[in-house]
Amino acid sequence: MDMDGDWSLPRPNTLFKVNSRPAGTSLSKKSSIATTFSSLATPVVAEAVQRAKELSTKTDVEGFHQLRVAFRKLRALYWAYSPYLGEEATAQATEELKRLAAVAGGTRDWDIARDLLDTAQKSGASIEPLVAAAREKRAQAVVHSQTMIRSDEVEAFLNDALLRAQTTLQSRCNDLPIRAFAEKRVRLAQRTLQKRSRYAARSETTHEEDLHDVRKAGKKLRYLLEFFQPVIKGGHGRTIKELTSVQNKLGQFNDIAASETLIRSASFDEVPPEVVQASLQWLETQKCRRMRAASRRVRAISGGDGRASARG
């Protein structure tokens, strides 16, 4: 569920308790749907709040990346529980989580673009002015992220959203066991991945948007398997490992495509147009190579049996 927009950040009267215990430690096959949501969401919220606090003073690459990942994991969790949370509540929460992830991702995107431009320069491309400009863009993105992601507001939003979700689930499915529900949601995520993989692989010419759709579907499935692994049938460690491998290949392509879009849309007043063009030509060449590699992996996972498709 991908939506844009803002959700107001009210401060709840009662805070949703967070702690740092690992996800899944209190999960069992006899747990209820309502209690597992709390168990799974709590450590992710704790990490997101901690990351947001750290980024008020730190600007490390990994910090912004992990904050964005935490927001994405929470979106996947809201999707999983949406049949009981309801469409409106799910939409409101995922809308704001997507916005926060995008703000955190602004710095990360310039980190990736800057690293790619460094590689281009080392390979012989004469783009030093653009490399320097990308460093400045990254610095500006840090300021924007720190301004827009205030840890106290993030904590208030997450506490309020999760308290509402927990209250809703306790009233609707407090006594319903988790196992069948979790397996059903995982199967739906698997079918979505299989459908998108086959769609992307059916043509000789793979489109960027199709690969992006496969990447998002695979990411959602991996997060759900990581969340629900303690309560669903069968061992899924290998599946998660293979999903991660495919995601890495798709991620390498996405980094190139996103950086190309970022540079095309940015304004570089102090950089000669021919320098920008040289960087775009290098990125285009690299994008084609990585797109072919990503397409091969997608075709491989789209043509096998049900388990192969699930692994992709």
User: What are the DSSP calls for 217-237, one per residue?
Assistant: HHHHHHHHHHHHTTTSSS--H
Domain count, the chain: 2
Q: Are residues 43 and 89 in the same domain?
A: yes
Show pLDDT as tens, one digit a residue, over the chain (312 residues).
333 333 333 333 333 333 333 444 467 777 899 999 999 999 999 999 999 999 888 888 788 899 999 999 999 999 999 999 999 999 999 999 999 999 988 888 999 999 999 999 888 878 999 999 999 999 999 999 888 898 999 999 999 999 999 999 999 998 899 999 999 999 999 999 999 999 888 866 678 899 999 999 999 999 999 999 988 877 677 888 888 888 898 999 999 999 999 999 999 988 999 999 999 999 999 999 999 889 888 888 876 433 434 433
Q: Are residues 103 and 197 in the same domain?
A: no
Answer whether residue 89 is part of any domain. yes
Q: Are residues 106 and 240 in the same domain?
A: no
Q: Are residues 51 and 72 in the same domain?
A: yes
pLDDT at 310: 40
User: Would you say 98 and 216 are in contact if contact means Cβ atoms under 8 Å apart?
Assistant: no
Q: Are residues 312 and 183 in the same domain?
A: yes
> The tokens of 180 are what?
């069948």
Continuous H helices in the chain: 33-54, 61-85, 87-122, 128-148, 151-173, 178-201, 208-228, 237-265, 273-302, 306-311
Answer whether residue 304 is part of any domain. yes
Q: Are residues 53 and 100 in the same domain?
A: yes
pLDDT at 23: 41
Answer whether residue 105 is part of any domain. yes
Answer whether residue 81 is part of any domain. yes
Q: Are residues 31 and 158 in the same domain?
A: yes
Q: Are residues 162 and 213 in the same domain?
A: no
User: Would you say 94 and 79 are in contact if contact means Cβ atoms under 8 Å apart?
Assistant: yes
pLDDT at 178: 94
Q: Are residues 111 and 223 in the same domain?
A: no
Q: Are residues 16 and 42 in the same domain?
A: yes
Q: Are residues 288 and 185 in the same domain?
A: yes
- CATH number of domain containing 120: 1.20.120
User: Would you say 178 and 36 are in contact if contact means Cβ atoms under 8 Å apart?
Assistant: yes
Taking the C-alpha atoms of residue 100 and residue 92, their distance in angstroms, rounded to an integer, is 13
Q: Are residues 160 and 222 in the same domain?
A: no
Answer whether residue 164 is part of any domain. yes
Tell me the residue range of the domain where 45 lies.
10-131+138-176
